[in-house]
Structure 1
Amino acid sequence: MSRQINCGGILIGGGAPVSIQSMTNTDTRNITATVEQIQKLVSAGCDIVRCAIPDMEAAEAFGEIKKKVGIPLVADIHFDYRLALEAIKNGADKVRINPGNIGSRDRVKAVVDAAKEREIPIRIGVNSGSLEKDILEQYGGVTAEGLAESALRNAVLVEEMGFSDLILSLKASDVRLNYAAHKIIHEKTDYPLHIGITEAGTLESGKAKSALGIGALLLDGIGDTVRVSLTGDPVNEVLFAIEILKALDLRSSSIRFVSCPTCGRCGVDLAKITSDVETALKPIEDKMKEKQIPSFTVAVMGCEVNGPGEAREADFGVACGKGKGLIFKDGNIIKTVPEEDIAKELILYIEEEKILV
């Protein structure tokens, strides 16, 4: 198990739930636009938000943004160590740096000392596109071994400065390379790992790469906090990260939704029923989080072949026949309802059992 660090009240590692991160793509100097986007990310279910700090004006704006939001904020720093110092002074809950591009050892130490004084963690971020020249020469290009070595080398550098409140990330856009690098570092350190597939692509293409890359690591017990990197609206990153965690049963207070693909035996409009049920479940999930209601499963099945079995295994389910559906709760048949009432009746039982208690 990894060690645990605290990022603005969100625990990372050490058995804590896998947290979801995203990054604003507004100009950080535009305080209003950035705050609005952060609020949308929070509403979507984000746990930690990162903001780019390209210059001193952005570092100063970061402080104003921090005052207006309640979510932990991470300052993303490259090249200029003074930006990290200013962001830390302005309330950063964590800073993300690559010591290799910050500059001299003294400059890295200045950032480390500031983080130590404010008692905030540092994320050491290494990407396949920014490996040190000597590592590239040693391994003949970008390799899993080189990524792991770079992250560990930088962690040791910071450790020698008397600081160990670290999170490591080593990301690649190649799923296999990314997986192999994390397998290596997972065996060599107990620092929490921030995982994801960097530059995964658009919403259409990037979701497949992210699901494979992140899901494979989480199934192996690797990863303490995640970011899905998609081109476009970062809210989509959060929503898809939630779907990945739900699929692996790693998201508390969520609903696992099961529905069949339909076939020629289906005697109802299952596409409409599943859409109606799924839409109605979203506000229920919001209430579950507020009340800390544990996760449960809902199954909507289209015919008598696998339908009754799947419905019985779910906490709530329906197995459809010709123009009707059998509603189940905890494996027991509750009632038979006509097709047009299936979604409404199923949701009613869920609300009565889980929300109105």
Structure 2
Amino acid sequence: LRLNPGNIGKHERIVEVVRAAQAQQVPIRIGVNGGSLEKDLLKKYGTATPEAMVESALRHIKILEDLDFTDIIISLKASDVHRTVAAYRLLAEKIDYPFHLGVTEAGTAFTGTIKSSIGLGILLHEGIGDTIRVSLAAEPQEEVRVAWEIVKSLGLRTRGVTVVACPTCGRLDVDNFVGIVTEIEKRLAHIQEPLHLSIMGCAVNGPGEAHDSQLGITFGRGVGMIFKDGVPMRKVAGENIVEAFVKETEKLLAEGAGAKPQISLRSEPELISIR
């Protein structure tokens, strides 16, 4: 139940809501938002500073604690990273309730993803936060996808595929590298098992990344070398690489993701074109 008890009027109404929440064993989330702070706090601090947000949260917490209600979650959201991070850090020093993290009204899918990743990433890395919400001017499923990638990148969740891919620098040995990576990631989005894959555009960093991946592909001129657990398996013609890599990933899952590679006795993997 998202509720700021100090905003609902008479004390009797607060008691009624709190008792109903207690009876149903429903937690109450106190949601402080930098855009809707109490007028007296804005007058005191001049604007919605982190200190003002924290004082607002403590005010609402006290109301609930005075009614013997402690099943509380706190959020302190502002539309910029600095205030959001500072407010959560400050309140984390004062209380031990769980936190719901978010940079509110973060913006479009592009800018909002960046702001949310930085703000939430900092706090989660410091051990602050129990649940999160990515707030984007985008479709709801995009918010979920971004949130999942944030916690996955921090190692807080491991479900699904993690793709390591290089930037589009001058060493790329394959055309349409971005399209290839995007298509592979899309084709493997349904996978729930944790898999670490690498897709590298040249032979400079590719073999090194392959050592840390369960499956990898490194491109050369017109071909791609597929690695399994850092061991070269075979070459595949460039036009067939998406299909070949997807099939190898599915095969890896069928074998069990932890299966060890079978090392070929050949010194040079065979060039195979997958139809």
TM-score in terms of structure 2 length = 0.87
Give the structure 2 partner of residue 247 of structure 1.
153
User: How far apart, in 2, do the equivalents of 1:262 and 1:174 lie?
Assistant: 30
SS at the partner of 2:93? helix
Give the counterpart letter for 1:274 in structure 2: V
Q: SS in structure 2 opposite 1:100?
A: helix
The offset of 1:278, in angstroms, is 1.0
The answer to whether residue 113 in structure 2 is matched with residue 207 in structure 1 is: yes
Q: Distance in 2 between matches of 1:337 and 1:331?
A: 17
CA distance in 1: counterparts of 2:45 and 2:254, whole angstroms: 56
2:166 matches 1:260? yes
Task: Read off the aligned partner of 2:183 and give its amino acid letter.
Answer: D
- Residue 155 of structure 1: CA displacement? 1.2
**1:313 aligned residue:** 212
Contact 2:100 2:130 in 1 (8 A): yes
Paired with 2:107 and 2:101, the residues of 1 have a C-alpha distance of 16
Matching of residue 131 in structure 1 with residue 30 in structure 2: no
For residues 51 and 253 of structure 2, what CA distance do their matches in structure 1 show? 48
Residue 356 of structure 1 and its aligned partner are, at CA, apart by: 5.9
The answer on 1:281 being equivalent to 2:188 is yes
**1:115 and 2:21 aligned:** yes
Aligned counterparts of 1:276 and 1:204: Cα–Cα separation in 2? 20
Q: Is the CA contact (8 Å cut-off) linking 1:100 and 1:132 kept in structure 2? A: no
What secondary structure sits across from 2:13 in the alignment? helix
- In structure 1, the partner of 2:241 is 342
Structure possessing the higher relative contact order (Cα contacts under 8 Å, 6 or more residues apart) = 1
Partner residue of 2:83 out of 155, 159, 177: 177
The 8 Å contact of residues 320 and 326 in structure 1, kept in 2 or not, is answered as: yes
1:327 match: 226
Cα distance in structure 1, aligned partners of 2:107 and 2:74: 23
Task: Look up the match of 1:62.
Answer: none
Cα deviation 1:56-101 (Å, max 9, x = unaligned) = xxxxxxxxxxxxxxxxxxxxxxxxxxxxxxxxxxxxxxx1011221
Partner of 2:124: 218
Structure 1 residues 355 and 122, CA, compared in 2 at 3 Å: closer, same or farther? farther
What SS does the corresponding residue of 2:2 show, helix, strand or coil? Answer: strand
The yes-or-no answer on 1:97 pairing with 2:3 is: yes
Larger radius of gyration: 2
Provide Cα deviations, 1:316-346, integer angstroms capped at 9, x if missing partner.
1111111111111112112222212322222
Aligned to 1:68: none
Structure 2 unaligned segments of length 5 or more: list them. 257-275
What is the aligned-residue identity percentage?
48
Q: Distance in 2 between matches of 1:355 and 1:103?
A: 60
Match of residue 262 from structure 2: none
Alignment of 1:52-201 (within 5 A): 95-201=1-107
Check the 8 A contact 1:312/1:332 in 2, yes or no.
yes
Q: Where in structure 2 are the equivalents of 1:224-239 lying within 5 Å?
A: 224-239=130-145
Output the CA distance in 2 between the equivalents of 1:355 and 1:196.
Answer: 38
In structure 2, distance between residues paired with 1:355 and 1:195? 38
CA distance in 2, matches of 1:355, 1:123: 43
Match of 2:200 in 1: 301
Shift, 1:256, TM fit: 1.2
Contact conserved, 2:160 with 2:189, CA < 8 A, in 1? Answer: no
Q: C-alpha displacement at 1:138, in angstroms?
A: 2.6
- Secondary structure of the equivalent of 2:73? strand
Shift of 1:127: 0.6
Does the 8 Å contact 1:266/1:322 carry over to 2? Answer: no
TM-score (norm 1): 0.68
Instruction: List gaps (5 residues or longer) in structure 1.
Output: 1-94
Higher helix share: 1
Q: 1:355 Cα shift?
A: 4.6
